[in-house]
Structure 1
Amino acid sequence: MVKMIILRQYDPVICFSFSKRECEFLAMQMAKMDLNNDDEKINIETIFWSAMDMLSDDDKKLPQVSNMLPLLKRGIGVHHSGLLPILKEVIEILFQEGFIKCLFATETFSIGLNMPAKTVVFTNVRKFDGDKFRWLSSGEYIQMSGRAGRRGIDDRGICILMVDEKLEPSTAKLMLKGSADPLNSAFHLSYNMLLNQIRSEDGDPENLLRNSFYQFQADRAIPDLERQAKALEEERDSIIIEEEDSLENYYSLLQQYKALKKDIRDIVFSPKHCLPFLQPGRLVSIPCTKNDENSSSFSIKDEVSWGVIINFERVKGVSEEDANKRPEDASYTVDVLARCRVHKDEVAKKTVRILPLKEPGEAAVISISISQIDSLSSIRLIIPKDLLPLEARENTLKKVSEVLTRFSKEGMPLLDPEDDMKVQSSSYKKAARRIEALENLFEKHEIAKSPLIEQKLKVLHMKKELTAKVKSIKRTMRSSSVLAFKDELKARKRVLRRMGYITSDDVVELKGKVACEISSADELTLTELMFNGVLKDIKVEEMVSLLSCFVWQEKLREAQKPRDELELLFTQLQDTARKVAKVQLECKVQIDVENFVSSFRPDIMEAVYAWAKGSKFYEIMEMTPVFEGSLIRAIRRLEEVLQQLIQAAKSIGETDLEAKFEDAVAKIKRDIVFAASLYI
């Protein structure tokens, strides 16, 4: 790809990849390509070593520094957040000067830097967003492809997408021509902001929230919601039904009946009762998939289709004892041959609609959960061993149709839950008795014999749905019109009072003064550690190591385990964090206690301890698998936290702690980690 780009003089080119390691791997694959002449190589070497002159001799020997120059001299560069800051800056300068013809970069290169190229290549159009792999959004594509084409130099920019899996036209259109990502407020309340507002003489947290962009967005939706509610109310009031009270009573009985039927089905089709009867060849009824437009429509009896069981299996990762504890659909899947319609949507996902047996469609084997089974027949068919040929599947469904025709008058014989499946639970018997009582009520009900009962019930169901929509919209309007963060503000104030940061009259206490100064780490946990005497009783190096847990965010698979004394400190930190989280939970702040505790990570404790002890940077890089740039960024954030702690100690008159924090800053603020920027 790069050879073709260079041959057609489409360089410089930026190749976007979504992983730091992949950027380096792809650049190393280009080892045999040379895109620069001798004069350019001399200039690159001069610029490179002029920048590296500020580093010590030891730092100049770092693998990242020594490995990068040969690559740069050939006109190939790498740019990602794991690089040494000084290396990133050199690469940016060389790219601007035209000495780098091909740059492998992560998407961060497309944000905040004015670095256009003639061509942009996407090595992939799917990315992992921390939860799952997904297609690029339109906003992400626009941002990165926008680097293609230099104003005043190129007539046009070239964008190349490398796609190694099927990309549906609709997905491509959405990515290339879709609208920009919506701009939604990410405003959130923090204890630091709240305390500073309370401490300020003319501060008013409620006023601040009322004037936030978040509140503006919530309020802006109200007029539109009012219009929607009014239109729905008018539509609902226009529906007039004869004998509505009597019909409503019948409708209510039907809803109870359906709920009881579902309860019985859940009991009968629990794994312990139904697994012995899921043999291949058994006829099974399953609900037909409703059309989207009819998905919420009402019917007295749901339409079912008949199929044949082929096989069943436990979902991977679910143990035998676990299977009975979890919901059926989370434990087992059943393969059923049924009449279906297969459809592929815009995002290349396959959706399967189950159809009645007589409708035109394809005979397909589908996987369903046990909870989707409506009933099991006592009849079993002999099925072919090989169902891959379409003819074999069609012939099997013909046999099912013949059986249905044979039993059209008396109905398909079903397995009896009590006699055949031996369901003896008291909850089943109780539900069965209630169903029997309801069936008697249906027979005696005055409206049951009405010829248009089904149509009338559908109209009533529609009216009830409109009422539910109006209620939902009005609920949204009420929550939008009040202060968006009102409940959270009250809850967070409760936390601050409970923990002694403010008095009942909203006067900031000593603890509150400390938390006011801390904005780069979790203010409550850090303040609690400070007031518990943990930071006072330990050595400076140990304190710096402990504070690294507040600034390190990345997850490492093979992090070095900290030594015993550091591990003991980390346990104290976890205990403190757990107490803080539990108090917040008790005060009704939305928080996941275990997630909060696990957000403090000990991965770089050992490396930071060694750095504070005076070790060289190349020595600490041998101790940890993290990228150099990531570690430098963490230590710089650590220095920022220490500066805030100096101010906090000063504000409460703790001179010993202030001196200790200043000593910590002096120990970590040196060499390559705090090397001056080339742009200054």
Structure 2
Amino acid sequence: METLKRKAPDGPAPADNASPLKAPRADAAEPPARTTLAAAEPIACVHDVSYPEGYDAAASASRVLAGGAEGYEPAKKFPFQLDPFQAEAIRCLDNGESVMVSAHTSAGKTVVALYAIAMSLRNQQRVIYTSPIKALSNQKYREFKEEFSDVGLMTGDVTIVPNASCLVMTTEIWRSMQYKGSEIMREVAWVIFDEVHYMRDRERGVVWEESIVMAPKNSRFVFLSATVPNAKEFADWVAKVHKQPCHIVYTDYRPTPLQHYVFPSGGDGLYLVVDEKGRFREDSFQKALNALVPATGGDKKKENGKWQKGIVAGKSSEESDIFKMVKMIIQRQYDPVILFSFSKRECEFLAMQMAKMDLNEDDEKANIETIFWSAMDLLSDDDKKLPQVSNMLPLLKRGIGVHHSGLLPILKEVIEILFQEGLIKCLFATETFSIGLNMPAKTVVFTNVRKFDGDRFRWLSSGEYIQMSGRAGRRGIDQRGICILMVDEKMEPSTAKMMLKGSADSLNSAFHLSYNMLLNQMRSEDGDPEKLLRFSFYQFQADRALPDLEKQIKELESDRNSMVIEEEESLKDYYDLLQQYKSLKKDVRDIVLSPKHVLPFLQPGRLVRILYSTYESATFSIDENVTWGIIINFEKVKSNGEDRRPEDSDYTVDVLTRCSVSKDSSGKKTMKIIPLKECGEPVVISLPLSQIDGLSSIRMYIPKDLLPVEARENTLRKVEEVLSRFAKDGVPLLDPEEDMKVQSKSFRKATRRIEALEGLFEKHDIRGSPHIQQKLKVLHAKQELSAKIKSIKKTMRSSTALAFKDELKARKRVLRRLGYVTSDDVVEVKGKVACEISSADELTLTELMFSGILKDATVEQMVALLSCFVWQEKLQDAPKPREELDLLFYQLQETARRVANLQLECKIQIDVESFVNSFRPDIMEAVYSWAKGSKFYQIMEMTQVFEGSLIRAIRRLEEVLQQLILASKSIGETELEAKLEEAVSKIKRDIVFAASLYL
């Protein structure tokens, strides 16, 4: 095993690229104190304020802020000089006005929260601190408890001192308290929303909007956010909703400036691409890409059923890029380092690449062992033997850690504590580590520049990059933070520039309606669903966009009206026929080229007719642009999503044909297919099946070695000779029905329609018109403008009306049809039950409860059935549940199908099968056994899921059970209530509910 020792820094390295694996050095004398760094350069911050309509802004502005008043005593004094943005925000708080603080990760936003809490406690007022996740709530509770004594915690899992003056809670708990009209609501003077940029989250963002709109009107707010370009718009909304000023204090200042490097896969150096002044170095970026050694088929390595790319592949772990990178970082004293990966499995795989690396001294190892086992003492002897526990300690002792949502929660917290104590030098983490408690490192490495977002692989957004790179650079310790992008594929300079230097993601509303929201609004004394929609951030942004949309329409209409075309009506008719024709041709190709029909005929040597496009004829002719090539090979392409996510396969065909090859300004090769007779190069190019227009019945011999240009050129000459032989009647093609056995009514119907359209084209009076192609181009552009205008007008109509108005009516119809509310919107018994359910699908679960299925099942069966509501991951090889559980699951599916079909009848847009399939039986057996009293290691043997994922599901299941207990209590169902309480007692035990180390 290699124990790495650090080298002393020895002067700066070259600015663009370094000698093999040498990074630019830190200056020898690093500044010791925070104030020194703060004074090194001016720290700019912008202070703006949003006033509600009719507010006397002049009078407010003329008031003397408390910070300047005689005899002023701050609520809290800090042992360091405040940054301007902190001081500015604190002045707003002292003045009793709301403030939004928008600053980078690690900039010190928590200082403002601490001051707001101190001020509330001094004034004997109640303050609420909300955070997006339970883990962050736990961490903040610990942090505030060390500072103030009167602090409580409410997360759903844990309740500590619920009557405390300062309450830390998740945003969901705060929303629930507001709907229930809790006594606490009337006493709240300040509400602190941490990580408020979470409001743009697609699933949970709506909770922030509800909570802000419904917050007590006499309370004030502190919003803490990552940098967002539209902070002023958000503050304008808050000022409008609560009829009070809301200040914006915004800073782009980073306490520790960042340098951004690229490490090309297979290369041997780092390339500085953005310096600490934020300048993008395009020449250096291009050198990095030129040094990139792309992974070939032989360089790929299969691990856990997935093909690893160049960054992690290699003959041995010591030769992998990741090993070399970490080794260089440690030797250059650039640790601690966080290496971000976008898959839990890859995190663990990369950590295993460090098997021969030891970063810790003996005394550090002893400390780690002490901390580790004192934490694990909370577990039973059986749980201490879990593979995840026993396998992690040797890794941690060597100074290497892993952090992702699949870890046991207690293990994740130990790793966080060890990292904060400086005992972990190298941490492999998923994106979630960039959210929450301030845990910076000197260096951040991105092991990939693409991520799978649930639909597709895409480049990281600038907002995601800003959030994660914000972990680089420790204030008062590092003179600069270092970010390294490991790149294993070509990327355009514009893409890199957008990622590294782009603006943060805007704070846009993710508001959507839910039945739980509507029922709670209807039940609440002051509730009004339409009012909630009217005051939503979604509606506010829609109203704001109207003037711009009107301006766009005027400009587009002016452009459209300036286009005058001869014989326009006749041309439109011809154009419409042409679009139909092309659509039908595509339908036919899709049927014929489906893998089941085409794969047996993709043999090497078969002549293939391929589509290529030019601007002139891409849309405006019935004759497609086609040329010929010869098949060399085909391969199956499969997308690798997040762990165990099955994806549909696709195929590409390698075809030898002629291309024009050119280079763009950055030196990147671009290839364009051209006719065989034109001047170009013989190239083997990978094409999707959709680019094939027909397969010939002719097959030719192809040489084994096509690497020499002469071999490729000679093969294409022979193809041309074959084509010239069939010049009169055309090259014979495989008949889809006779040769390829395509048996499809859709195919026959489409081909008959194509023949009919060809007849119409022959007779059309516009066919012989001069300059028809040019006229069609103009008409096409005019049609596109009309489509844009129509789309914008539709957006405007939905904006000027109340947002979601039609959906609101439809959802109310559903609730009436199911008997949840009366025709006068009075909440009935079933509605009261659904009001309590916010952690599962409220309609399906309520229907299940009223059908008697939960009553008839045993406690263990009931718990197993309810697990289908909380498990969201997709497993490929999940075990089929036993017969009695399978029957229960069938009843759940039928209930879900009934609920979905009724919604469809009421004009709610819903995919019935997708909805039914969202209830998954994958962990039914494991949860059933857990409720029966099995040990955790035993249930882990039943499933392939991560330990942390299963624990999270069971904890959420307990949340659902608690909500059902409240629901049963509200309607007097004592028998079911007792059964549900028994269910909670059966699952709430051992490692699954081990207490947080932060509490």
Same fold (TM over 0.5): yes
Richer in helix (by share): 1
User: Which aligned pairs between 1:421-570 and structure 2 lie closer than 5 A?
Assistant: 435-436=758-759, 439=762, 455=774, 458-570=777-889
How far the C-alpha of 1:275 sits from its partner, in A, is 13
2:351 is aligned with 1:27: yes
Cα gap change, 1:297 to 1:226, in 2 (>3 Å): farther
Q: Is the 8 A contact 2:608 2:631 kept in 1?
A: no
- Which residue does 1:326 correspond to in 2? none
Task: Give the SS at the match of 1:469.
Answer: helix
User: Which aligned pairs between 1:256-275 and structure 2 lie closer than 5 A?
Assistant: 256=577, 259=580
Q: Is the 8 A contact 1:170 1:347 kept in 2?
A: no
Give 1:139's match in structure 2, choosing from 448, 463, 467. 463
What amino acid sits opposite 1:545 in the alignment?
Answer: A
How far the C-alpha of 1:148 sits from its partner, in A, is 1.6
How far the C-alpha of 1:499 sits from its partner, in A, is 1.5
Bigger mean CA deviation after superposition, 21-30 or 274-283: 274-283
Task: Give the SS at the match of 2:357.
Answer: coil
How far the C-alpha of 1:258 sits from its partner, in A, is 7.1
Q: Is the 8 A contact 1:312 1:332 kept in 2?
A: no
TM-score by length of 1: 0.81
Give 1:105's match in structure 2, choosing from 420, 429, 436. 429
User: Which aligned pairs between 1:281-430 and structure 2 lie closer than 5 A?
Assistant: 288-291=612-615, 304=625, 306-307=627-628, 339-341=658-660, 353-355=672-674, 360-364=679-683, 389-391=708-710, 413-414=729-730
User: Which aligned pairs between 1:167-182 and structure 2 lie closer than 5 A?
Assistant: 167-182=491-506
- Which residue does 1:248 correspond to in 2? 569
- Which residue does 1:581 correspond to in 2? 900
What amino acid sits opposite 1:146 in the alignment?
Answer: G
- Which residue does 2:229 correspond to in 1? none
Q: Where do 5+ consecutive residues of structure 2 fail to align?
A: 1-324, 639-648, 740-746
Task: Deviation per CA, 1:600-637: give whole Å up to 9, x if none.
Answer: 22222233223323333344334433332222222211
Cα gap change, 1:163 to 1:504, in 2 (>3 Å): same
Give 1:650's match in structure 2, choosing from 937, 957, 969. 969
What amino acid sits opposite 1:196 in the alignment?
Answer: N
Cα gap change, 1:61 to 1:435, in 2 (>3 Å): closer
How far the C-alpha of 1:154 sits from its partner, in A, is 0.5
What amino acid sits opposite 1:506 in the alignment?
Answer: D
Q: Within 2, Cα distance between the matches of 1:600 and 1:467?
A: 43
Q: Within 2, Cα distance between the matches of 1:51 and 1:181?
A: 38
Task: Deviation per CA, 1:365-388: give whole Å up to 9, x if none.
Answer: 56768986789999x999976776
Q: Is the 8 A contact 1:279 1:309 kept in 2?
A: no
Cα gap change, 1:225 to 1:58, in 2 (>3 Å): same
User: Which aligned pairs between 1:182-261 and structure 2 lie closer than 5 A?
Assistant: 182-241=506-565, 244=566, 246-253=567-574, 255-256=576-577, 259=580
Cα gap change, 1:426 to 1:416, in 2 (>3 Å): farther
How far the C-alpha of 1:85 sits from its partner, in A, is 1.7
Q: Within 2, Cα distance between the matches of 1:568 and 1:544?
A: 14
How far the C-alpha of 1:646 sits from its partner, in A, is 1.1
Q: Within 1, Cα distance between the matches of 2:699 and 2:373?
A: 80
Give 1:88's match in structure 2, choosing from 404, 412, 437. 412
Q: Within 1, Cα distance between the matches of 2:899 and 2:952?
A: 27
Q: Within 2, Cα distance between the matches of 1:48 and 1:430?
A: 72
Task: Deviation per CA, 1:160-202: give whole Å up to 9, x if none.
Answer: 3333444454443333223333433222211111111122233
How far the C-alpha of 1:235 sits from its partner, in A, is 2.4
What amino acid sits opposite 1:149 in the alignment?
Answer: G
- Which residue does 1:324 correspond to in 2? none
The higher radius of gyration belongs to 1
Task: Deviation per CA, 1:90-127: give whole Å up to 9, x if none.
Answer: 22112111122222222211111211111223333333
Give 1:670's match in structure 2, choosing from 989, 993, 998. 989
- Which residue does 1:114 correspond to in 2? 438
What amino acid sits opposite 2:330 in the alignment?
Answer: I
Cα gap change, 1:557 to 1:261, in 2 (>3 Å): closer
Task: Give the SS at the match of 1:158.
Answer: strand
Cα gap change, 1:489 to 1:382, in 2 (>3 Å): same
Q: Is the 8 A contact 2:630 2:657 kept in 1?
A: no
What amino acid sits opposite 2:803 in the alignment?
Answer: A
- Which residue does 2:950 correspond to in 1? 631
2:907 is aligned with 1:620: no
What amino acid sits opposite 1:601 in the alignment?
Answer: R
Cα gap change, 1:586 to 1:8, in 2 (>3 Å): same
Cα gap change, 1:179 to 1:342, in 2 (>3 Å): farther
TM-score by length of 2: 0.57
Cα gap change, 1:422 to 1:254, in 2 (>3 Å): farther
Cα gap change, 1:471 to 1:165, in 2 (>3 Å): closer
Give 1:150's match in structure 2, choosing from 462, 474, 488. 474
Q: Is the 8 A contact 1:384 1:392 kept in 2?
A: no
- Which residue does 1:55 correspond to in 2? 379
How far the C-alpha of 1:347 sits from its partner, in A, is 13
Q: Within 2, Cα distance between the matches of 1:485 and 1:470?
A: 22
What amino acid sits opposite 2:929 in the alignment?
Answer: A
What amino acid sits opposite 1:123 in the alignment?
Answer: T
Percent identity between the aligned chains? 74
- Which residue does 1:322 correspond to in 2? none
RMSD: 4.5
What amino acid sits opposite 1:562 in the alignment?
Answer: P
Q: Is the 8 A contact 1:171 1:347 kept in 2?
A: no
What amino acid sits opposite 2:526 in the alignment?
Answer: D
Q: Within 1, Cα distance between the matches of 2:906 and 2:773?
A: 50
Q: Within 2, Cα distance between the matches of 1:601 and 1:158?
A: 43
* Bigger relative contact order (CA 8 A; separation at least 6): 1
How far the C-alpha of 1:155 sits from its partner, in A, is 0.4
How far the C-alpha of 1:595 sits from its partner, in A, is 2.0
Task: Give the SS at the match of 2:487.
Answer: coil
- Which residue does 1:325 correspond to in 2? none
Q: Is the 8 A contact 2:868 2:919 kept in 1?
A: yes
Task: Give the SS at the match of 1:114.
Answer: coil
How far the C-alpha of 1:512 sits from its partner, in A, is 0.7
Cα gap change, 1:358 to 1:223, in 2 (>3 Å): farther
- Which residue does 1:327 correspond to in 2? none
Q: Within 2, Cα distance between the matches of 1:198 and 1:127?
A: 41
Task: Give the SS at the match of 2:428.
Answer: strand
Number of aligned residues: 653
Q: Is the 8 A contact 2:386 2:937 kept in 1?
A: yes
What amino acid sits opposite 1:144 in the alignment?
Answer: M
Give 1:46's match in structure 2, choosing from 350, 366, 370. 370
Q: Within 1, Cα distance between the matches of 2:931 and 2:364?
A: 41
Cα gap change, 1:463 to 1:186, in 2 (>3 Å): closer
How far the C-alpha of 1:647 sits from its partner, in A, is 0.9
Q: Is the 8 A contact 2:610 2:629 kept in 1?
A: no
Cα gap change, 1:303 to 1:398, in 2 (>3 Å): farther
- Which residue does 2:393 correspond to in 1? 69
